[in-house]
A and B are shown apart, each in its own frame.
Chain A
């Protein structure tokens, strides 16, 4: 996409404002009252009951988080369904994933709609726990964006490294309510209970013997989860799916570090003094 087309598209799709509920109701009440007053001198019309129709543009969403849930949850389903018959004890996988206080991992993804697709040069590092989440995005080996969420303090920090700008804000309800992905073990369990899956057998990944299973998510995407036989922790997640626009996406998650105490890792980003507020 050319620079001008990118600007057009950004204004069209990313510059949007939604009325808050108080504004919405106040203006609608005024408009309806005005309409009623203008009608009082006229013959009565048969008015149908008012009903609200919320019209929202649907956004194309791959739902990678859902697929991640799916593949992690598979272990639980496997346990529930079979009791575990191989080297990997899936009940322990589920327990370990749920009990891990924090996890660090890398993700990479592709989408053929994106002309700037930077696989394998671009990647994202996540730190996740129930209390905090941090995401660092890299391109060409350089960090260009950091997002930090503190669910306990209800704050967010965004850092645009290339632009040397940052934002510090209270966490919106929308952000707080959004899927927390790996930091929501209960969510994994709930989704896993409804999934089809099958065993993939064993293979060695980076010198580590692993066992895998493959599941199909509710949106038709597939996910493969590979778990280290020795430790029982996931080491690789592979995702494939087609979004509503017919675009094929792939993603991987690897370089996992489980059982990390994120409070001791200094997860909150330090903002250089030269950076300006957004």
Chain B
């Protein structure tokens, strides 16, 4: 497997293969992040398309240092904010994101879909600033200090938002996730 440093280096040199591999590696996680932030499948698709197109265009100016995951996640957040400001109108889509994991059987597939739906509904109920922190931390794997930089707030505020966000999720899910250990 290519590591990110090598992928970035090859991408900067114009490699289609590197762009494809970066895309394959991060598409689903960025789509999950966008969908979590927007709770709108069509809008999330738009955002992710914008992010990867802009990424492809940025090759010459792309800075090779720093986390690729963090760069793309930050791009998603910024696009989501733009999107919210513009409130674009949508028409039909040729595809919808679908909740997916690797189930151990048909019943498990149904259970996993239900669980993802419950989580998506609960996340959508969070205030936007808490939702951003929770998803950037848990889905994009960003460090709290990088989230603080992105949100232009102190790290203590980020930690508070994260804690309040999780408490709120726990309350909304009403002990449901504890049953999922099985």
Q: Which residues of A contact B (CB under 8 A)?
A: 1, 3-4, 6-12, 14-24, 26-28, 30-32, 34-36, 38-39, 42, 45, 47-56, 59, 61-65, 114-116, 118, 122, 133, 135, 139, 144-145, 147, 149, 156, 158, 160, 162-163, 167, 169, 172, 174-176, 178-181, 278
Contact = CB atoms under 8 A, between A and B. Distances in A.
Given A19-B97, A65-B104, A133-B107, A38 B119 contact: no
B94 A23 contact: yes
Interface string B135-152: 100110000000000000
A147 B123 contact: no
Given A18-B28, A52-B24, A59-B101, A149 B139 contact: no
A33 to B, nearest CB: 8
Given A53-B24, A55-B25, 14 more contacts: A7-B170, A17-B116, A18-B97, A19-B95, A23-B94, A27-B45, A38-B57, A50-B16, A53-B1, A133-B106, A135-B107, A144-B179, A147-B110, A180-B106
A35 B16 contact: yes
Interface string B144-182: 000000000000000000000011011001111111111
Residue among A17, A55, A176 with the highest chain B CB neighbour number at 10 A = A17
Contacts of A51: 17, 20
Contact of A172 (B48, B98, B120, B182): B98
B44 to A, nearest CB: 8
B166 A8 contact: yes
Given A7-B169, A163-B174, A42 B14 contact: yes
Contacts of A36: 16
21 contacts: A3-B177, A4-B170, A6-B178, A12-B138, A16-B32, A17-B35, A17-B98, A20-B96, A27-B48, A47-B15, A48-B17, A52-B24, A53-B21, A55-B1, A56-B102, A61-B104, A116-B179, A156-B110, A160-B176, A167-B113, A167-B114
Given A55-B1, A56-B102, A64-B104, A20 B20 contact: no
A1 B107 contact: no
A76 B10 CA distance: 54
Contacts of B16: 32, 35-36, 47-48, 50
